[in-house]
Amino acid sequence: MDNFWQHIKSPVFSLAPMEDVTDTVFREIVLGISAPAKLHVVFTEFTSVEGMNHPDGRERVSERLIVNDSERKLLTEKSVKLVAQIWGRNPEIYYKVAKYISENYHFDGLDINMGCPVKKVIKSGSCSALIGEPQLAQEIILATKEATQLPVSVKTRTGIKQHQTEEWIAHLLETEPAAIILHGRTQKMQSEGEASWEEIGKAVKIRNQMNPAIPIHGNGDVFSMAEGLQKVKETGVDGIMIGRGIFQNPWFFSPELEEVLQEERIRKLLKHTHLFEQTWGGIKNFNILKRFYKIYLNSFPGAAKLRADLMEAKDYEDVYRYFEVNYSVLSDLS
């Protein structure tokens, strides 16, 4: 299998894996409103290898790996790569699940989550807890690489309680992952404070010394494409991953677009609702949608009231009825 990380022209822009956010529906919306050649890689929500390995748990956990045909079409049209992100702490289970995903799904790569700082995940010894167990982390990467022909990347942080970037990144580079995506915060920082791009720059220097061929991508506090390009210039990273920046502006990957009008924002909200209902109706909680309503409904007069009104919606029909009564855009969900 082709290691696409080596062939995408730098700087690469990607959409971060985010829990209850980057499902097939939201990825499709973002793909649809991104300008050509501005978004290069998207990721699934992070998927438990233990869950995928459990005969009773697999069906539910594998929902995170669903890719709608309509999303697949856009991925192909826009030449965007799709990576499945996985997490856990047992190398043998990583091997089994990486093999299973490679043989039963159509992804362009696998990414190992060594960055999530959520307490209940840390207690299991997974994700950013692995920064404290570098030998186990290496075993996991090597086991995953052995199981699949897909390129295996790693997303991580700069340390646990304090930055330990050089030491930690050196451990990861020894396993020769396809790419390293580094969030410029420690586990302890969660999403607080300012992401340290100085630390990300240190990771690039270590990479340059140890293995210049491995791409390093930076993540943290980038809220515009221009800002991302500046970070590339300052630190030498090969790419930028966008996380919370997409909440401020779903049109992040259409930098030439100066203004998105109210009607267009409402159209996208309705399309998202419609796709979500088609994909997850009866499976996922309707209220998950409300976090997305907040990102579409801003930057125009009356947006705050509209947001407040929609927070009262109890189901899909409430949303459709609201816009049918108050606006004239419901008939076109494109």
Res 299: pLDDT: 85
Nearest alpha carbon to residue 334 among 75, 79, 70, 24:
70
Catalytic pick from 15, 30, 52, 116?
116
* Rg (alpha carbons) of the chain, rounded to whole number: 20
Instruction: Write out pLDDT tens, residues 284-312.
Output: 999 999 999 999 998 888 899 999 999 99
CA distance 255 to 226: 8
The pTM score is: 0.95
- What pLDDT, on the 0 to 100 scale, is given for residue 2? 81
Place of tokens 């990273």: 237
Please give the class, per CATH, of domain 4-248: alpha beta
Sign of CA dihedral 123, 179, 200, 17: negative
In the predicted model, residues of the chain with pLDDT beneath 70 are: 1, 328-334
Contact 95, 147 (CB under 8 A): yes
Coil, helix or strand at residue 47: strand
Q: What is the pLDDT of residue 11?
A: 96
User: Is 127 noted as a catalytic residue in this protein?
Assistant: no
Where exactly does CATH 3.20.20.70 map onto the chain? 4-248
Give the model's pLDDT for residue 1: 61
Locate 257 and state its tokens: 């677009």
For residue 11, whether the previous peptide bond is cis, meaning omega lies within 30 degrees of 0, is yes
Bridge pairing between strands 216-219 and 41-43: unpaired
The residues facing 47 across adjacent strands are: 86
